[in-house]
Structure 1
Amino acid sequence: MNNLEEEYPELKECTLCEWKCGVNRFKEKGKCGIGIPLVASSMLHPAPPASYDAFMVGCNFCCLGCQNHNIAMYGWAKIKYSIEGYYKPEDWAKIGVRALKSKAGRFIGADRLFFTGGEPTCSLPWIEKVVEYARNIEPDVKVNFDTNGFMTENSLKRILKFTTSITYDIKAFSEKTFKELTGAFVEPVLRNIRYILQNAKDKLWEIRVLAIPGIHEKEITPLASFLSEIEPEIPVNFLSFRPEFLMEDYRGATQKFLTWCVKEARKNGLKNVTWSGLTDIPGKVLPLETILKEKKCTNHSNRYCGKCKNFYDCRLRKS
């Protein structure tokens, strides 16, 4: 552990994301729930952009409908999901570059390393080292950073220095809905996408919005207006919500709803809008506050993980 403390000194007082916990991650947990950077799994992935992916453990959100909760909530789970673990940055870099050059990698057109999760910002110092080693092997290797946008301004600038492309999730536009869905506050996410669009828009692969029926009807118009005022040509994809994690009984998005999302976004100024994903999964629609109450969130009427006195004993994260 001492060698890792020397290699990642900033984890002794971590302020990588907007929570700015300031904890010593070698001794205690912050909001992300992890200590050293850990890889849950690595694989070639054909979905655009085709890539070799590192799914990083840990996340600074606790999304009610998290699609990768075994990875994101790993630090809090009572029963641990099997993961690959810690890699020396140079070792994962070699594996990644080799995978891109492999027959399977060339077959799917994989042309970049892709860091996702969980939330890769929590593992930023490790990722920077991986990219440095990878580019010593293959100087032109591309890099994608897949993020929820909840990083500090300094972390974002670091990310922009080494990335070729960014895939960016916006969970909601209004503060109330964003807090209910994620437990975090929305301002940094909107601030950071504004910065990217104004300073590095060519790096933005797409913005993704998980479209949840009964929740996002009031989110699409203000979000589309906000984005179109900055850059109307940006690619925006509405992802079809599918029941998962604490929303496993919730109804999935319908084709009709997703088509409406696209039309509404275009009506409000966005020009490059699509939707994707499996549709029409049956279930029920409930207010988010009701779900939070049923799942025993102690702050179900005003969810905000940053000030929750029960954060380290959170029933949602340990579900």
Structure 2
Amino acid sequence: MIMSLKDALHHYLSVRDGRTDASFMVAARTPASFHETSGMSELWREHERIEKGIECSGACERSFLDLKIEIAERILGECSLCPWRCGVNRHREQGHCGVMEPRVASEFLHYGEEAPLVPSHTIFFSGCTLRCVFCQNWDISQNPSAGRHIEVDELAALIEERRRMGAANVNFVGGDPTPALPYILRVLSRVSISVPVVWNSNMYMTRESLRLIMGAADLYLTDFKFGNSECAERLAGAGNYFEVVSRNHLMIAGEDMIIRHLVLPGHLECCTKPIISWVAENLGTDTVMNIMGQYRPLYRASAYPEINRPLYIEELEEARRWALSEGLENLI
């Protein structure tokens, strides 16, 4: 029997409707024991202890959220937030993403997201970990200097204001939010009211980054683009894409999740169908998916003949039929 959408997103809806505290608030009151002179391996051992639910012993004067921030800031100094693992000190130089000081390209109450998320307080960060030639948001994803830097306290206050205005959640997106992960965790540490956190990401991130956002996010709005790494390398410059993104989806199996898949013209057999079949087999037929037909040949798509056209309605219909044939019924 297929789980209902309400059951599949139970935790997120409970936080949205005020029945449960947001995960970052729980993390902020979960005791942790560490200090600034702790080594990185020691910090990760403490993180693992809390992940396993083992009681804190000794001087537990800090929080799980504090610990996540400490680890994230140290990673930023020799950056390995995404699989490019540039190793640069991003306080002083750019890595592959081009992001140094995180910049917000725009933020607003978004009414065009999936129904359970509306109205969504979307915060669009500049820069991205991928180089998709068909990017619909290329003006910010490929321009990390777009927008402006917002101080941590200012953005935290804005999140609280939007929540009071009726925002169902705060939705960190881009580009991609992964390069801004340390900043996002610091912002959440300053938010004083419960608001569901949506991690809206291409999921091209390291295990370490994903572990840091787990326990702080309430719903994962993921973007599963390519069904193999060959297409990903040619169209997004990431040769290990499928390995990384499938692994990360397995890491959040059991969490509240909506998987988006933008159907690319000419890529039903190599990308769309393999992704749908993988999701059904590995994450279960209760998984919530949004099979999207909004593709348009933007940015540099004209240089790639098979995607230099709009999607045919027949391709979208075939994609949805394939999902139903694989047992996926939570399609939104």
Instruction: Give TM-score, length-normalised by structure 2.
Output: 0.71
Distance of aligned partners of 1:9 and 1:175 in 2 relative to their CA distance in 1, 3 Å threshold: closer
Q: How does 1:72-91 map to 2 (within 5 A)?
A: 72-75=141-144, 81=146, 83=147, 85-91=148-154
- What SS does structure 1 have at the residue aligned with 2:266? coil
Q: Does the 8 A contact of 1:224 with 1:269 survive in 2?
A: no
- Which of the numbers 143, 146, 166 marks the counterpart of 2:200? 146
Query: Displacement, 1:143?
Result: 0.8
1:140-159 deviation per Cα after TM superposition (whole angstroms, max 9, x unaligned): 21110100111111211111
Equivalent positions of 1:76-155 (< 5 A) are 81=146, 83=147, 85-102=148-165, 106=166, 110-134=167-191, 137-138=192-193, 140-155=194-209
Return the letter of the residue paired with 2:216. F
Confirm whether residue 211 of structure 1 aligns to residue 263 of structure 2.
yes
Q: Equivalent residues in 2 for 1:193-232 (5 A)?
A: 193-197=249-253, 200-201=254-255, 203-204=256-257, 206-230=258-282, 231-232=284-285
Conserved 8 A contact 2:225-2:271: no
| Alpha carbons 1:225, 1:269 under 8 Å: kept | no
Cα distance in 2 for partners of 1:10, 1:66 equals: 28
Is residue 2:74 matched to residue 1:17? Answer: no
Q: Write the distance in 2 (CA, Å) between the matches of 1:222 and 1:53.
A: 30
2: CA distance between counterparts of 1:218 and 1:272?
Answer: 23
Give the C-alpha shift of residue 248 in structure 1. Answer: 5.1
Q: Give the root-mean-square deviation of aligned CA atoms.
A: 1.8
Q: What amino acid sits opposite 1:155 in the alignment?
A: S
**3-state SS of the aligned residue for 1:162?**
coil
For residue 232 of structure 1, give the secondary structure of its aligned residue in structure 2.
coil
Q: How far apart are the structure 1 equivalents of 2:297 and 2:164?
A: 36
Query: What's the counterpart of residue 293 of structure 1?
Result: none
Match of 2:121 in 1: 52
CA drift at 1:9 = 4.5
Give the C-alpha shift of residue 20 in structure 1: 1.1
> Residue deviations 1:135-193, cap 9 Å, x none?
xx21x211101001111112111111111111000111111112112111221101001
Task: Indicate conservation of the 8 Å contact 1:52/1:113, yes or no.
Answer: yes
Q: Which residue does 2:331 correspond to in 1?
A: 273
Aligned to 2:91: 26
Deviation at 1:269, TM superposition (A): 3.5
Q: How many residues align?
A: 249
Distance 1:125 1:175 in 2: 28
Q: Distance in 1 between matches of 2:270 and 2:205?
A: 26
Secondary structure of 2:300's partner? Answer: helix
Which residue type is aligned with residue 123 of structure 2? A
2:297 paired residue number = 243
Q: Structure 1 residues 10 and 223 mapped into 2: Cα distance closer, same or farther (>3 Å)?
A: closer
Q: 8 Å contact 2:121–2:162 — kept in the other structure? A: yes
More off after superposition, 172-181 vs 8-17: 8-17
Structure 1: gaps spanning 5 or more residues? 1-6, 275-319
What's the offset of the Cα at 1:217? 3.1
Q: Which has the higher contact order (CA 8 A, sep 6+)?
A: 2
